[in-house]
Chain A
Amino acid sequence: MIRTNLGRVVFFILIWALQVLLFRYMTLGWEGTIYAQVFIYPLFILSLPIRMRPEFVMLLGFILGLCVDFIYLSPGVHAGALVALAFFRRYLLNFIEPRNGYAVNDLPVLSDQGMGFIATYYALGLILHCFWYYVFDMFTFQSFIELWIKTIFSAGFSWFFLLIIQFLFFYRR
């Protein structure tokens, strides 16, 4: 599905719709502060081809982030975080590259890379994304503890849902 350009466009729209229609409402928090949110849209950036030009990845991230921000009514916050994820994705992929490297047409998804790779990849990517998101969202460094609680909780929940999506759509027997 995501191996063709048309497929990626459909995936883009689908994941945006899922995020703003369904996962936007899955939040966890108390006393007026939301401590955990579920972000599945980083999956789009994380699933782009490994050898895609980083500039292009960043532009796609910027566009998707703005689309999400459009519904969340927080212009720039998601976009900034997703651009950061898109920028650091290259280094992340280099960092966790398997011993025998990537095959030419591989995508960083479950069907191509296997469970261990995907779990690590998503965990690191989501922590980065959530951290960046909450830095922009809180816009202050007054409470590092709050920042890290939010980051870890949100990244954890999002990670869980991303893995479920992987098993639903990208699992190949």
Chain B
Amino acid sequence: MRSWDDFLGHFGSVLLFLALQLVCLYLIVQYNERQRTIFNHTALLISSSFDSRFSQWKAYFNLENESEKLHAENARLRTQVRRLQREQVDFKNTKAKKKPDSCFTYHPAQIIRNQTRSRYNHLIINAGHSDGLSEGMAIVCEKGVVGQTDFCSQRFCSVLPLIHVQSAVSATIQRTDYFGQLRWNGRDIRYAQLEGIPQHVPVAEGDSVLTSGYSTVFPRGEAIGRIHSVELPAGSNFFDIEVKLNVDFGRLRKVYWIENPDRDEIISVIESRRYDQN
């Protein structure tokens, strides 16, 4: 109590002053037309700037959520693009197939572990058997091909990326349509090597390299990279081609895995053919 009295003794007049000033301000704003206009205008300015800042913060904290949504949306749209391409082809074909090929479906996933320093790099994504993922499915991101699935658990899956010395992807040069194998020599994660392009093919630096679609894994036309340098080793029939990869493996986060509904059927065809030969 004593300290409270002291406080009032010291600051009572200040408190009363502030209180009376507040009362006066209230009266001014309430009953004077001009001052009220100014007050309302200023209040609007302040509150709107505050609101916009607050909504910026909110948006910032919501970004993860938002990008999650966009990611899913993108997967849907990519699937739809594939379907539309397919329908266009079917439409142009006068002899349409009785049962058209199914179309590739894109699903969103996130990389939860990344590795770039080894020759045997592996990524882990947060989708697995329970999501419908199995071995040998394509992983792409918005810039291009990442790799293919390797080993799947119930909820996670390891990915064999392009930057693994054992990875091999069938790729074509977009301008000439010749295809070869894309491999990685284990040195620079920015570059991969395209093998099997014969020396008579006109190859130029800067040509786009896409997936060929000649495998059960990747759909046709997913971007891989651009030709960085071309060399013809002495006495060889095939070019040594360095491909600058579109995907920056050092900062990869959101990816899509691609489901090919026809895959099992195609594989069974391949298997039976092998069976034949043996």
Q: Name A's B-contacting residues (CB within 8 A).
A: 54-55, 58-59, 62, 65, 69, 74-77, 79-80, 83-84, 87, 90, 136, 139-140
Contacts and interface: CB of A to CB of B under 8 A. Distances in A.
Nearest to A57: B13
Nearest to A53: B13
Contacts of A83: 17, 20-21, 24
A69 to B, nearest CB: 8
Contacts of A140: 38
Contact of A139 (B20, B21, B34): B34
Contacts of A136: 24-25, 28, 35
Nearest to B35: A139
Contacts of B20: 58-59, 62, 79-80, 83
B26 to A, nearest CB: 7
A interface secondary structure, majority: helix
Report which residue of B30, B32, B39 has the largest number of chain A beta carbons within 10 angstroms of its beta carbon: B32
Q: Which 3 A-B pairs have the closest CB atoms?
A: A76-B27, A80-B24, A76-B28
B25 A75 contact: no
A136 B17 CA distance: 15
Nearest to A65: B24
Contacts of A54: 13
A55 B16 contact: yes
B261 interface: no
Interface in B4-60: 12-14, 16-17, 20-21, 23-28, 30-32, 34-35, 38-39
30 contacts: A54-B13, A55-B13, A58-B16, A59-B20, A65-B24, A74-B28, A74-B32, A75-B27, A75-B32, A76-B26, A76-B32, A77-B28, A77-B32, A77-B35, A79-B23, A80-B20, A80-B24, A80-B28, A83-B17, A83-B21, A83-B24, A84-B17, A87-B13, A90-B13, A136-B25, A136-B28, A139-B34, A139-B35, A139-B38, A140-B38
A76 B21 CA distance: 9
The binding surface of chain B is classed by DSSP as helix
Interface of B: 12-14, 16-17, 20-21, 23-28, 30-32, 34-35, 38-39
Nearest to A90: B13
Contacts of B38: 139-140
Given A83-B21, A139-B28, A139-B38, 12 more contacts: A55-B12, A55-B16, A62-B23, A75-B27, A75-B28, A76-B24, A76-B28, A77-B32, A77-B35, A79-B27, A80-B24, A136-B24
A62 B25 CA distance: 12
Contacts of A139: 28, 34-35, 38-39
B209 to A, nearest CB: 64
B57 to A, nearest CB: 29
B32 A80 contact: no
A72 B31 CA distance: 12
B32 A84 contact: no
Contacts of B21: 80, 83-84
A58 B32 contact: no
Contacts of A79: 20, 23-24, 27
A62 B38 CA distance: 24
Contacts of B39: 139
A71 to B, nearest CB: 14
Contacts of A84: 17, 21
Contact of B30 (A58, A69, A75): A75
Nearest to A87: B17
Contacts of B24: 62, 65, 76-77, 79-80, 83, 136
Nearest to B37: A139
A168 to B, nearest CB: 31
B66 to A, nearest CB: 40
A93 to B, nearest CB: 14
A82 to B, nearest CB: 9
B36 to A, nearest CB: 9
A28 B28 CA distance: 24
A90 B16 CA distance: 14
